[in-house]
Amino acid sequence: MKDETKEWLLKAWDDLRVLRHEMSLPPGERVVSAICFHAQQFVEKALKAFLIEHGKEFPRTHNVSFLKRLCSEIDKDFDTLQVDELSLYAVESRYPGEPLEITDSECERCGELAEETRRFLEKKLGIEFEGLSRAGGEKGAGNA
């Protein structure tokens, strides 16, 4: 695996760990906008890692639908990923203005999409996110 791929995967893993932590809280205590944002960020970074590993360039974007299409040019199985709705949470959930009304079920859906993407990419890249480690010995879920 390329070093740059691993760097992107580690950043993606950080987002998934934050998402999992928030999801472990009771529904009334969750920061639903953060869960949806980190789901989007995980998917975005994981797709970019796949593209980097395969030498495919991409522009700066938060649009996971666009990134998924680029991935599907390499592997048609990416067409089956149902992540398009996550692009909404890249920016809109982070800034003041018209608030996004995010329900608990919508929040849970975002978490499920991130986990489905994790399993999908683990197979495609032959990795396990929890097994990735940083230089200096930091390892997976033990470091929050």
Instruction: Report the CATH number at residue 66.
Output: 1.20.120.330
Q: Does any domain span residue 138?
A: no
Domain count of the fold of the chain: 1
Average pLDDT for 90-100: 67
Q: Does any domain span residue 140?
A: no
Task: Tell me which long-range contacts 120-126 makes (C-beta under 8 A, separation of at least 24).
Answer: 120/77, 120/81, 121/46, 121/47, 121/49, 121/50, 124/50, 124/75, 124/77, 125/1, 125/5, 125/9, 125/49, 125/50, 125/53
Q: Which residue has the higher pLDDT, 72 or 95?
A: 72
Both tokens of residue 79? 């067409």
**What percent of the chain stands above pLDDT 70?**
88
Split at pLDDT 50, 70, 90, the class of 135 is low
Separation CA 70–CA 37 (nearest Å): 22
- Amino acid letter for position 103: T
- Residue 28 Cα distances to 33, 103, 107, angstroms: 13, 11, 12
Split at pLDDT 50, 70, 90, the class of 94 is low
Split at pLDDT 50, 70, 90, the class of 98 is low
Quote the pLDDT of residue 97.
65
pTM: 0.88
Mean pLDDT of the chain: 90
Domain that holds residue 95: 3-133
- pLDDT, tens digit, for every residue of 13-51? 999 999 999 999 998 999 999 999 999 999 999 999 999
